[in-house]
Every structure is written in structure tokens, then in C-alpha cells.
Amino acid sequence: MNPIAKNSSDAPLMRVPEFGRAPLGSAAEKRLASLWETLPGWRGWLATVDHKEIGLRYIITAFVFLLIGGVEALVMRVQLARPDQALLTPEQYNQLFTMHGVTMIFLYSLPILSGFSNYLWPLLLGSRDMAFPRLNALSYWLFLFAGIFLYVSFPVGQAPNAGWFNYVPLSSLEFDTGPNIDVYALGMVLLGISTTVGSINFVVTLFRMRAPGMSINRVPIMVWGTLTASVGNLLAVPSVSLAFFLLWLDRQTGTHFFDVSNGGKPLLWQHLFWMFGHPWVYVVVLPAMGIVSDALPTFCRRPLVGYAAVALSTMATMLLGFEVWIHHMFATGLPTLALSFFGAASMVISIPSAVAVFAWIATIWLGRPVFTTPFLFFAGFVMLFVIGGVSGVMTAAVPLDFQLTDTYFVVAHLHYVLLGINVFPVVGGIYYWFPKFFGRMMDERLGKWSFWVMFTGFNIGFFPMHIAGLMGMPRRIYTYSGDMGWNTINMVTSIGAFLFAAGILIFMVNALISLKRGALAGNNPWDAATLEWSVSSPPPAYNFAVIPLIASRHPLWENRADEGAARSSLDEGYLLLQGRETLATTPLDARPDLILKMPDDSYAPFFLGLFSALMFAGLLLQWWDFAGLMAIAGGIALTAWMWPGRKQEQSASAMHSARDAEHG
């Protein structure tokens, strides 16, 4: 068989000799390895565009930020454990409070999910890489440098200090004259660029990089979750980037976008911020829900109940998420009619979330659960999801929200939503995919200890915050009087926070020990259904030697799940050996469409990210000439990025020769 495929131009169809079904031999595997493997040493570390390397870097870097944010939280809990503590000054507490929120919400929650998706998407979709490998590398470097940019101000006492929500006029130059807010504004714009280019990559990868036969109704739920979050990012991130840029202009150039004394609108900040802020809640939750939806059925020994309903509810959740930002602003004096509409929308959004909850419960109920460590984390997540959702519906009621606004009830809800619904799927996902990442199993006994300590500590730490809020304890206070009645609750909360941290420590010890001593995993130690488990653990550099043909939603469970007469072909498929190549398919039906020439490793993404960060540093320090020089250096790096290499030129010449021969 010698199939035909389009080339990248508008020329007629051309024959490609090695684009065909063929058995794979050792010579072909060696050629693929030589084409796709990254160079060893520091050169390969800087230049790699391998999605698996980038995914693991995202996960490790984001987890480091989780640990930093956790230490910040523990320091605050020591300060609040007893009344009238003096461990921190008010300004130190402001900076610690702000950087804790920035770290956990922006530097941990989404990046770690991006790490899972970067590593797993091509393996789940049957591709050899993401759509834009160099753009993928750039998104990581920008994320890393944005995190460093935000944190270099912390040791010198100039960190952001107006809360992670950064409300004006408290963050305006009149009330905050230091560089603290400028660091936050420019750092968030830089981080927004990283998020945007990463989101573009995910969207294009889904629609063009699936294995033949993986039609749109066969992609895993995790892919739906990350796709929906990525589309949400493309619509929401410009809003917050604009808000921070306008604030920076107000502070540095004398504009008055938020200055009420000169016709500005302070409330504009809240609109721009929360038009981003509430969809962001679902951005850091929907991919985590996708992890549960794909991994939980493995331990229930049956497919997910209601696949189509869960996929549709995922999209509906993000769509409604753009219509409820006002519930963060109920106490700002907006018209009553507007409050009614947004209050109703905030309650309606619980419906698609409930669809997913019922699907998970039904999957457990109708399956044969195996109580492994990942299963415990996913089941615990379902409980925390319900608690966080119910408290969210409570704050959607306008009269109740008037009483709960800016109290510790909101802090409790936020942690159940952003920490409980994110961290538990993430840790469960690491236990689940650790064998695929590193080829070794994690210890089950230590894993169960880590779950029970984390789960107990989390609920002891954060559930009492609901009660503290109902008792009137305001958020963002650095100390309190002993006669307020909050002493016991704060002590219990602090104990719970340290217990939760102990659970994280057990997990880390387990991971470090398992890297060296864990049992060898094999290709599919969990007997899972999805495509990533069809290759070795860890996967080869090229992922799939032969790009498989997919005929069902669960290609590794076709003998037990009756999904039609057709069967997937994982041993035979499309063999591409003429260079770094992968297959592009049509957006809906996943029919073979193009052979894509993938770029080689390159230093350009690293240097473009570095020069971009240095340019922002120049803007922060008002070194205008230096910022301009770094912009020019970034342009040179971008030119080097786009410059065709020798292999690409030879490949293009061969393609033109083949086309000329075809038309000859």
C-alpha cells in the first residue's frame, strides 16, 4: 500500500514513498531515535523541544512553587495561631500574603496542569509531539523567568503587597510608591504571554495532531478539559494583561485610567481583573477534573459513565464561567438588577459541575473499585469538590454574600476550590503516571499514608475557616485581639495546615525513593485503557514508532468494552522516517491529511524567553536603553528561530523534486 498525502503547499496530491503502513524493524527504531533524541548535557537541556522534557520541567518547577507558597502559608499560620502575635510586621504580612496568593494561583495551579498536558497530550492523541514544539519550549522559559522576575523582589522587601487581587486605589502610586506593584504588573504581563502561546499550542494540537481515526468524540476527557481551559485563556488573559498594563501606565507615565480624581474608574480594575479571575478558577480546575475523569475509570475497571455528558458539561462550565464575574463584586454598589442576573448565573453554573460529580460517583458505583493510592486521591477529590461547590453556591446568594464578603468564609471556599480541587487530582495524577514518567512504581504504603495525612490535614485546616468567617473574622488581617472569640479556630486551622504539609512531605519522600528503588513498571502496570499506556515506560523520544490507527474511545480495552466491530491497530499504522515527521489529520474525523516536518532542537526559545524577561526588567528599573537593546536581541533570537536549518532546506528541496517528478 502506498497512500497519498498533501504537501504543505497548494500543489496537487503527491506520493510519499515512506508514508505507508509497514512493520517496524530495529533499523527503523534506530533511525527514529537518531532523529528525535535530544543531545546530552547542557546543550540539549537548553535546546530541547521534546514535549516530555518540557512537561516534566513544568511539573517540577510548578511543584517547587507549590512548596514555596506552602512555606509562606505556614509562616502566616504561625502568625495567626495565637492572638497578638508579632512574628511579622504588617508590611511583611502584606508581602507574604500577596506572594502566597500569586504563587499558588498563577505560578502553581495552571503551570502544573500544563505540565501534565504537555507530557501526555501527544501520547494520548497518538502523535509524536505538540503542534509547535519551539513555541512549547518558549512557553516554559517565559513561565520560569516570570516566576523568577516576581520573586527576585521578595528577598529585598519589595515584593507585591496589595493582595493577589491588587485592587486600586490601594495599588496606585498615591498609596504605594515603591516598585512592589510594578514588579507584579510587569511579571503578570510576562506570565500572560507564556500562558497565551501555550494555549494556542494546545488548541492547534487537538485539532490537527490526533492519530488517524481518533475522531472528536473519541478524545479523552483530559484533552477536553485542557482544550476548554486553553480557549478560556485566550479570551480571559488579555483582560488581566490589559488591566496590569494600564496600571503600570498610571504609575509610570501619569495616565489616569484608574484615578477617580482625574476622571478614571477604580471599579474598572475589578471588572477587568474578575473578567479574567473567575474563568481562571475553571482554567485551573477543568484539566484537573479531566485527570480524574480519565484515571478514575482505570481503578473502577469500567469506562467513564456519561462520557458525552461530561465532555459537554466541561465546555458549558467554561462558557458560563465568563458570565459570573460580578459575583466577586456584589458589595461594590452595582445595580440590583445586575446582581440578580449574575447571582442566578452563579447558581446555574453548579449544574454542569454536578453532571461530572454524578458521572464519577456512577462510575465508582457501577464498577469494581480497586483502592489504590491514586483511587483514594481521586475519590477524596470528589468529596472536596462537593464541599467547595456548595460553599460557592452559598456566596452566589446576594444577601448572604453581603455578610460573607471579605471574611474567612471566602478564604475557605477559595482553598477548597483552588487547593483541594487542584492538588488532590495533581498528586493522584503523579501517582498514576509516575510509572509512565520514570518507568518505576511509587510505594503504595507510603502513598496511602500520604493521602490520609493530606486529606485529614486539609479538612482540619480549611473547614474551620468557614466557621471563622461566619463568626466575622475578616480576611487579610495580620493579627487579632484575644477577646474576638477566634483563638481556638485559628489554632486548629494552623495545626491542620502543618498536618497537610506533613502529608506533602511524605509524598515527596515517596517520589524521591521511588525514582531509584521503585519496582519496574512495564508498559501498562494499571491495565489502563488510553493510548499512552501502549508504549514503553518511559516512552521513547519519538513516542510512537508507527502512528497507530484508532477505532474506539478505549483502544486498550476493546476486548472488554463493546464499542463496535472495528478494532484499533496499534502495531500497524503510518511509518514516517524521512526526518522529524509526524502526521496531521482533519479536525473532526481525524483522517490523514498532511505530513508535518517538525523543527529540530533550538536555543532560540531559551534566548527569546531570556531577552524578554531582561527587557521587562529594564522597564521595571526604567533603563529604557537597556530595554530597547533587549527587544532588539529578542528580535534576533526570533529571526534565528524562524531561519530554516540545513535539514529543513534539504527536506524542502526533496519535496519539490518529488513534486516535479510527480508532474513530469
Distance CA 127, CA 209 (A): 6
Closest CA to 166 of 237, 242, 101: 101
- Alpha helix (H) residue ranges in 254-396: 266-283, 286-300, 307-321, 336-348, 350-366, 373-396
Closest CA to 135 of 61, 197, 195: 197
Question: Burial, 186: exposed, middle or buried (Cβ in 10 Å; 0-12, 13-18, 19+)?
Answer: buried
Closest CA to 145 of 609, 605, 607: 609
R_g of the chain, CA atoms, integer Å: 26
Distance CA 615, CA 624 (A): 9
Question: Burial, 591: exposed, middle or buried (Cβ in 10 Å; 0-12, 13-18, 19+)?
Answer: exposed
B/e letters for 198-209, b = 16+ CB within 10 Å, e = fewer, are bbbbbbbbbbbb
The pLDDT assigned to 593 comes to 87
End-to-end CA distance of the chain: 22
User: Which residues make Cβ contacts (< 8 Å) with residue 172, sequence separation at least 6?
Assistant: 247, 250, 251, 258, 259
User: Which residues make Cβ contacts (< 8 Å) with residue 390, sequence separation at least 6?
Assistant: none
DSSP state for residue 105 in the 8-state scheme:
I
Per-residue pLDDT tens for 213-271?
Answer: 999 999 999 999 999 999 999 999 999 999 999 999 999 998 999 998 888 999 999 99
Q: What is the pTM of this model?
A: 0.92
CB 141 within 8 A of CB 610: yes
Instruction: Estimate to the nearest angstrom the gap between the alpha carbon of 33 and the chain centroid.
Output: 29
The pLDDT assigned to 419 comes to 87
Per-residue pLDDT tens for 372-427?
Answer: 999 999 999 999 999 998 998 898 889 999 999 999 999 999 999 888 899 999 99
Question: Burial, 615: exposed, middle or buried (Cβ in 10 Å; 0-12, 13-18, 19+)?
Answer: buried
Give the SS3 label for residue 473.
coil
B/e letters for 623-657, b = 16+ CB within 10 Å, e = fewer, are eeeebeebeebbeebbeebeeeeeeeeebeeebee
The pLDDT assigned to 558 comes to 82
The pLDDT assigned to 18 comes to 37
List beta partners, residue 5: 14
What would the 3-class secondary structure string for 492-515 be? HHHHHHHHHHHHHHHHHHHHHHHH
Secondary element (H or E) of residue 45: helix 41-47
The pLDDT assigned to 68 comes to 96
Distance CA 549, CA 567 (A): 9
The pLDDT assigned to 646 comes to 56
**Residue ranges of the chain whose pLDDT lies below 70:** 1-25, 561-566, 645-664
The pLDDT assigned to 561 comes to 63
CB 433 within 8 A of CB 294: no
The pLDDT assigned to 654 comes to 40
The pLDDT assigned to 418 comes to 86
